[in-house]
Structure 1
Amino acid sequence: MKRSIGRSIPSSDSLIIFDACVRFMNFTQAGNSVGLTQSAVSRQVLDLEQFLNVALFERSGRHLTLTASGKEYWEKIAPLLDELEAATVRTQMRHTLRNTLNLSVAGSFCNRWLIPNLPNFVKEHPGILVNVTSRVGHIDLSRTQFDAAIINSPTRPPGTQMTKLFPLSLAAFCAPSLLNERATLSAKDIAALPLLHLKEMPEAWSEYLAALGLQNVKVEAASYYSLLLLSCEAALAGLGVALLPPEFVTEDVRTGRLVRLSPMTIPTKFSYWFTWQATEERSDALIAFRHWLEARCQ
């Protein structure tokens, strides 16, 4: 029989055939599972027994029973075969895994920025697969299946690798239908329109109007929205004027679905961050996506 070069062990084929015989306790069925005839399997088992100098099976017609030595040997090699197969599959999959990125993305950023821009990344990196999950709130990457995340945070998140994408600033946008064909609006004109508010930034409109020179004005709220995404959709529907990140509505302004009411932009305490697990730093997919993301946002 064949033996492993330089090792006092039988060939892997012999061990695989022996394992199949134990699992089926039938040479014919074992042969079907590995693509060999009954006689070929029987010959392989006999060669293995001669190599080991022990009987592995007791044969009674077509009935097989493991000997004590056969049972002991199989119990030792079966886990090793499983481990060898698993190690082989992991190695085979390494290229695929290194070219896949599981990404958690803040909800508004996901819908209003990432998805519209993602086709550019796919075009530039056709071999990389990005799996995207939209998420609201804090995320602990060490406790999830995600390799990286894009988050909205007022401060630098602790304990992870990260890069800042851009600070979150706001400008006023609305649907053209609210303007009644007016070309320009004063601060008082803007304040008189239905204003859409964000629950996380309730003072944003007061700050915006103050930046336009309108101090101590009573701001009336048309509606409150919990997410920038919802506020944006409300503005597109003509429900009022929303304070939105200009980066989120570039295409809407270009196509005339939204109108920017003033060049004024106000800062917020929030920024968007790209963060990843330190264990993923050598991932080809992560490196490519991070570089693309930084270049795109800057």
Structure 2
Amino acid sequence: MSTDVKTPLTFRRYPSTTALQCFETAARHLSFTNAAQEMHMTQSAISKQVAQLEEMLNLSLFYRTPHRISLTPAGKTYYLEVLEILKHIEAATTSLMSNNDNSEVLKIVSHPTFCSRWLMPALNGFGRAHPLINLNIKELAGPFFSEDQNVDVAFLYGDGIWGGMESIKLFDEYNVAVCHPDYLAGKAPCTSNIAQCTLLQLSSRPSAWYEYFRQQDIRIEGTFVGPRFDTFHTTISAALLGYGIALVPLRLVAPELQSGALVRAWNYAAKGRGAYYISYPLSLGNSHKVKVIVEWISTYLQHSNDPQQDIECAW
């Protein structure tokens, strides 16, 4: 009669969390003394933890002189990696402590400006209506979804086709030219003399102004010239300060247009090449939390004031 015996895991020697914290703190301060103060330990204890870590790694992490310490090349590399490890531990611990056994975490990613200007108003009241679903929202500026990412729902701009994703169209994009109310005072219309106007540019859409005028069958020079910004948020901020004219999605700048903080430089609204979507992995199609957020966003769209309604009806 044979008995199955589980093979024990091979022993691996890992540094303690305390050793990693002592190293990270010392590396950040480049001082064992300051690290000791932050960690509420003695300087010798910090030094001993780091020395034991170096002995285990068989590498020197610091150059030591009588008056200062500095990171070795290996120490610099290890510091960045350890910093990320400690951040993950902190995030995992905080997440676990903040949720009860019956709650779910809904992980959302969105472009920064879309998140602050449209998604946050759309999610107002969600937590009260669904107290057992805790939102974890991350803002990322570039293309950020891939199937191996730990994301439940993504708010994306594009054609609606992403591998492994189910996408539901929210709305088309219409871009309008906006500026401070005083900006065009004393200036000729931009289409007749573009040299008098500064066109604020978005780095990720270098041909946006060219497309804006091309849709109107207007040929002008200088559509690629002007200060460049990474996000719509910064571009809108620059327009509010009178830097020039920004070309931005109508939905993202509706509050400033309604308040009069910004005005339309020209009445034309250029339809964008893409649209905005709420997307989620195909594997989560039956997920309760995903169904809840999709229904919430759909209801919000049905009952919210739509600044694009008149424009879309005209197309």
Give the shorter-chain TM-score range.
0.5 to 0.7
Query: How far apart are the structure 2 equivalents of 1:190 and 1:126?
Result: 53
Task: Name the structure 1 match of 2:220.
Answer: 216
Listed one character per residue, the Cα deviations across residues 48-82 of structure 1 (whole Å, up to 9, x for unaligned) are xxxxxxxxxxxxxxxxxxxxxxxxxxxxxxxxxxx
Task: Name the structure 1 match of 2:156.
Answer: 151
Counterpart mapping for 1:65-104 below 5 A: 95-97=102-104, 100-104=105-109
Task: Name the structure 2 match of 1:198.
Answer: 202
CA contact (8 A) 2:122 2:297 kept: no
- Return the match for 2:134 from 129, 137, 150: 129
CA contact (8 A) 2:141 2:231 kept: no
CA contact (8 A) 1:252 1:258 kept: yes
What SS is found at the alignment partner of 2:242?
coil
Task: Name the structure 2 match of 1:207.
Answer: 211
Task: Name the structure 2 match of 1:83.
Answer: none
What SS is found at the alignment partner of 2:228?
strand
Task: Name the structure 1 match of 2:293.
Answer: 289
- From the two aligned structures, give the one with the greater helix fraction: 1
Query: How far apart are the structure 2 equivalents of 1:200 and 1:140?
Result: 17
Aligned-residue offset at 1:191: 6.7
Task: Name the structure 2 match of 1:118.
Answer: 123
Q: Of the two, which has the highest radius of gyration?
A: 1
Query: How far apart are the structure 1 equivalents of 2:190 and 2:111?
Result: 34
Tell me, yes or no, if structure 1 residue 254 matches structure 2 residue 258. yes
Listed one character per residue, the Cα deviations across residues 193-234 of structure 1 (whole Å, up to 9, x for unaligned) are 211012232222223234445323443633112322221222
Listed one character per residue, the Cα deviations across residues 112-165 of structure 1 (whole Å, up to 9, x for unaligned) are 211233215446555543221101223345423321111223451122122122
CA contact (8 A) 1:106 1:135 kept: yes
Aligned-residue offset at 1:250: 1.2
Pick closer, same or farther for the CA change 1:291–1:197 going to 2, 3 Å.
Answer: same
Query: How far apart are the structure 1 equivalents of 2:161 and 2:135?
Result: 25
Query: How far apart are the structure 1 equivalents of 2:154 and 2:164?
Result: 14
Pick closer, same or farther for the CA change 1:211–1:162 going to 2, 3 Å.
Answer: closer
Unaligned stretches of 5+ residues in structure 2: 1-98, 303-315
What SS is found at the alignment partner of 1:156?
coil
Task: Name the structure 2 match of 1:267.
Answer: 271
Task: Name the structure 1 match of 2:144.
Answer: 139
Query: How far apart are the structure 2 equivalents of 1:159 and 1:215?
Result: 41
Greater Cα offset, 251-260 or 287-296: 287-296
CA contact (8 A) 2:207 2:224 kept: no
Query: How far apart are the structure 2 equivalents of 1:210 and 1:140?
Result: 31
Equivalences, count: 205
CA contact (8 A) 1:113 1:248 kept: yes
What SS is found at the alignment partner of 1:132?
strand
Unaligned stretches of 5+ residues in structure 1: 1-91
Extract structure 1 runs of 4+ deviating beyond 6 A: none
